[in-house]
Amino acid sequence: WGADPPFRTPVFVLTRHPRPSIEMEGGTTFHFLDASPAEALGTARAAAGGQDVRIGGGPTVIRDFLAARLIDHLHVVVVPILLGRGVRLLDGLPGLEEDYAIEAASSPSGVTHVTFTRAGP
C-alpha cells in the first residue's frame, strides 16, 4: 500500500512475533499483537469506539474467529478457479450452519457471494 494505506483507522495484526507499532500517513497505525482472537477483538472494539470492526486475513485466521464464535457477519467470495490445494475455510467447524443464516448469490461471471449472518442473539 505504500506510505498511505487505505484503512485510515488502527489495524491490529495477529502475530507470534510482536513488534512496535508503525504509524503511516492518513491515520493508519499498524499494531502487532500476540493475542487470542477474543483478546484481539476486544482491543479492536475498544479502539473502534462503538463502530464496526472488520476482520481480515487468510482462512486460518478467519477459522479461528469462527471457532470462537466471534463473527457476526461473514462475506465469502467464491471464485471459480481450481488451484488444487490450500487451506479449507470451514474445516473443523461442525454445526456452524446452525449458528448462521446463510445466503448465496451467483453472478454471470461464475463468482458466488456467500454471506453468513449470525442467527438469534
Q: What confidence tens digit (pLDDT) does each residue in 2-46 have? A: 899 999 999 999 999 999 999 999 999 999 999 999 999 999 999
Whether 20 and 37 have beta carbons less than 8 Å apart is answered as: no
Please compute, for residue 6, the number of CA atoms within 13 A of its CA located in the half-sphere on the CB side.
Answer: 1
d(Cα 79, Cα 51) in Å, to the nearest integer? 30
What's the whole-number average pLDDT of the chain?
91
9, burial (CB in 10 Å: exposed 0-12, middle 13-18, buried 19+): middle
Encoded amino acid at 113, one letter = H
The answer to whether the predicted template modeling score (pTM) of the entire model surpasses 0.75 is: yes
Q: How do 22-23 and 29-33 pair as beta strands?
A: antiparallel
Cβ-based neighbour number of residue 22 at 10 Å: 13
Nearest Cα residue to 116 out of 95, 92, 86: 95
Show Cβ contacts of residue 85 under 8 Å, excluding neighbours closer than 6 positions: none
Residue 120 — pLDDT band, cuts 50, 70, 90?
confident
pLDDT for 121 equals: 62
Question: 49-100: per-residue pLDDT in tens?
Answer: 989 999 988 889 999 999 999 999 999 998 888 777 778 888 889 888 889 9
